[in-house]
């Protein structure tokens, strides 16, 4: 994975995201999603390249869906349509974000904390069993 080359294409994004019109420019959604994926997983071996591509695809669709929401209610006379999705915060706000979160096993956009111990236990504490 490189920082400058997205894993997904415009056509792939438009094939799953109904919120994007066929002539719309999706560069910002793809670049934003790739930036996040690169920052979180560039040095990780946790996921395969194919899995990272799927996560990036659904994350880009999430960004597009937030920017271009589909009407939740439309009506003409007696003909009416209502669409409702789960309401949540962050990635849970759209069905695409929920999918990205699922594909990432819940690791996407979660705070990462790591501790590295480079020292040794001082001799006076090696045999001390008192708490």
Strand partners for 80: 75
pTM score, two decimals? 0.74
What is the pLDDT, as a whole number, of residue 4?
Answer: 93
What does the pLDDT look like over 94-129, one tens digit per residue? Answer: 999 999 999 999 999 775 566 666 667 666 666 655
Distance, in Å, from the CA atom of 61 to the CA atom of 26, rounded to the nearest integer, reads 9
What H or E segment, with its residue span, contains residue 74?
A: strand 73-76
């Amino acid at each position: 994975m490189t920082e400058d080359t997205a894993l997904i294409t415009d056509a792939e994004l438009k094939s799953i995201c109904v919120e994007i019109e066929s002539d719309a420019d999706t560069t910002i959604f793809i670049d934003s999603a790739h930036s996040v994926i690169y920052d979180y997983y560039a040095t990780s071996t946790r996921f395969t390249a194919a899995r990272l591509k799927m996560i990036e695809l659904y994350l880009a669709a999430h960004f597009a869906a937030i920017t271009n929401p589909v009407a939740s209610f439309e009506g003409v006379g007696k003909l009416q349509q209502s669409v409702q999705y789960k309401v949540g915060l962050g990635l849970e706000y759209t069905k695409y974000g929920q999918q990205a979160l699922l594909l990432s096993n819940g690791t996407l956009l979660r705070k990462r904390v790591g501790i590295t111990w480079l020292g040794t236990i001082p001799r006076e504490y090696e045999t001390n069993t008192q708490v």
